[in-house]
């Protein structure tokens, strides 16, 4: 019963917890001045979670993900297919970047490479100026992949547990994010009792809890129905505005890409190459009305045209 309420009515009444806008009180234990910001000026929650500051800095020093001339070839000899062709892309701190392109253009492959699950055939990927990515980048797959035997809270701390953080500390940290995500009261619920949207939120908290230097979202809302999906986009927007972890989102949804992102990267069909990078000038926090403005539609039109051109390129090649 309670789940359903929150799934429909509760969602639309969702508000950012006010206390998160106030400067955080330093912890009684380590009450030194400036203790709650890290080296990059990002706010720290009492338990050490990194949160983005409000200033926008896109300088060289603030590079989160650096993709340098990455190409990927699957198979060998005559069977070889090129999935990615010399992709260069930089994601800065506190930046939300979307990758959009026709299916099979290698977006997911690129995400796998950034996550460290696959290695590029050519080029390299740096995350926080290091090529060690496994365990340092938070990855959220399309399926929620929650473990049915763990409660929502225990699912979310999986990443911390693997890093050797003891369960009690991990749970306390995740609790903070449950509050931020408006999931308070659902910590002890098993995934089978949660709706699709709720499961996806728990999966998102699990991703945040990995405390990676950057976050990769692989079509996180693709399996949800249109209404839940719209709710989830609004929700993600609000939560992300609070945390501002550098994010790379793969999506098929042009509106989703524009509305959520600071930049939209358009890919060509296989082999995936960057066709165009578009800046989205809207200020944050963004509102749903922005989707109806001339400016928004102009960007949408441009992306649609680029995607159209991309497929023309494909037919020419064939």
Partner 1 sequence: MKEVKSKHKSTSELLLPILFITLMLIVWEVYVRAAGVDQTVLPSPSRIVAALWYARSDLLNNTLYTLLETAIGLIISIIVGSFLAILIDISKLVDRTLYPVLVVSQTIPMVALAPLLVLWFGFGLAPKVIVVVLVTFFPIVVAMVDGLRSTDRELIKLLKTMGANRLQTLTKVQLPASLPYLFSGIKVGVTYGVIGAIFGEYVGAYQGLGILIQTAKNSFRTDLVFAAICVTALLSIGLFWLTNLVERKLIPWHAKATS
Interface contacts to partner 1, rule CB under 8 A? 112, 115-117, 134-139, 141, 143, 145, 147-149, 158-159, 161-163, 190, 192, 210
Q: Taking the complex as a whole, how short is the minimal distance between the CB of residue 140 and partner 1, in angstroms?
A: 8
Chain CA centroid to CA 164, Å: 24
**Least distance to partner 1, CB of residue 98, Å:** 20
**In whole angstroms, how close is the CB of 315 to partner 1 at the nearest point?**
32
Closest among 121, 126, 109, 66 to 272, alpha carbons compared: 109
CA 45 – CA 30 distance, rounded (Å): 13
Give how far Cα 43 sits from Cα of 36, 54, 221, 237, 247, Å: 6, 9, 28, 18, 17
Q: Between 136 and 238, whose beta carbon lies closer to partner 1? A: 136
Strands (DSSP E) found in the chain: 43-44, 50-51, 63-74, 81-92, 96-100, 122-127, 137-140, 214-218, 247-251, 263-267, 274-279
Task: Give whichever of 41 and 135 is closer to partner 1, judged by the CB atom.
Answer: 135
Written as six digits, the tokens of 67 are 């993709």
- DSSP E strands: which ranges in 147-213? none
Q: CB 247 → partner 1: shortest distance, Å?
A: 15
What DSSP state is assigned to residue 235? H
Nearer to partner 1, 33 or 134 (CB): 134
The encoded tokens of residue 295 equal 């400016």
- Inter-residue long-range contacts of 287-290, CB under 8 Å, 24+ positions, other chains counted: 288/234, 290/259
Give min distance, CB of 142 to partner 1, in A: 8
User: Cα(188)–Cα(235) distance, rounded to whole angstroms?
Assistant: 21
Shortest distance, position 72 Cβ to partner 1, whole Å: 16
Select 163 or 301, whichever has its Cβ closest to partner 1. Answer: 163
Dist CA 146 CA 237 (whole Å): 22
Nearer residue to partner 1 within complex by CB, 109 or 268 = 109
Closest approach of partner 1 to the CB of residue 153, in Å: 15
């Amino acid at each position: 019963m309670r789940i359903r309420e929150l799934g429909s009515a509760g969602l639309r009444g969702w508000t950012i917890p006010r206390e998160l806008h106030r400067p955080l009180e330093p912890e009684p234990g380590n009450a030194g001045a400036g203790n709650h910001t890290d080296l990059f000026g990002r706010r720290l929650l009492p338990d050490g979670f990194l949160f983005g500051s409000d200033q926008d800095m896109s300088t060289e020093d603030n590079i989160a993900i650096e993709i340098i001339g990455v190409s990927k070839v699957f198979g060998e000899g005559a069977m070889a297919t090129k999935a990615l062709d010399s992709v260069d892309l930089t994601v800065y701190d506190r930046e939300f970047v979307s990758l959009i392109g026709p299916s099979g253009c290698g977006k997911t492959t690129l995400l796998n490479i950034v996550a460290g699950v696959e290695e590029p055939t050519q080029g390299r990927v740096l995350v926080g100026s290091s090529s060690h990515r496994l365990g340092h980048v938070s990855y959220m797959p399309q399926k929620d992949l929650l473990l049915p035997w763990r409660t929502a809270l225990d699912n979310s701390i999986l990443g911390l547990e693997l890093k050797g953080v003891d369960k009690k500390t991990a749970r306390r940290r995740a609790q903070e994010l449950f509050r931020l995500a408006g999931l308070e009261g659902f910590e002890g619920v098993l995934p089978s009792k949660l709706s699709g949207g709720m499961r996806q939120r728990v999966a998102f908290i699990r991703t945040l809890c990995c405390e990676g230097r950057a976050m990769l979202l692989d079509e996180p809302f693709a399996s949800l129905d249109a209404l839940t999906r719209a709710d989830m986009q609004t929700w993600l927007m609000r939560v992300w505005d609070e945390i501002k972890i550098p994010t790379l989102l793969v999506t098929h949804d042009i509106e989703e890409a524009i509305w959520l992102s600071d930049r939209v990267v358009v890919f060509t069909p296989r082999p995936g190459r960057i066709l165009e990078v578009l800046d989205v000038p809207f200020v944050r926090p963004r509102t749903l009305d922005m989707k109806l403005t001339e400016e928004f539609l102009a960007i949408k039109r441009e992306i649609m045209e680029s995607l159209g051109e991309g497929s023309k390129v494909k037919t020419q090649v064939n």
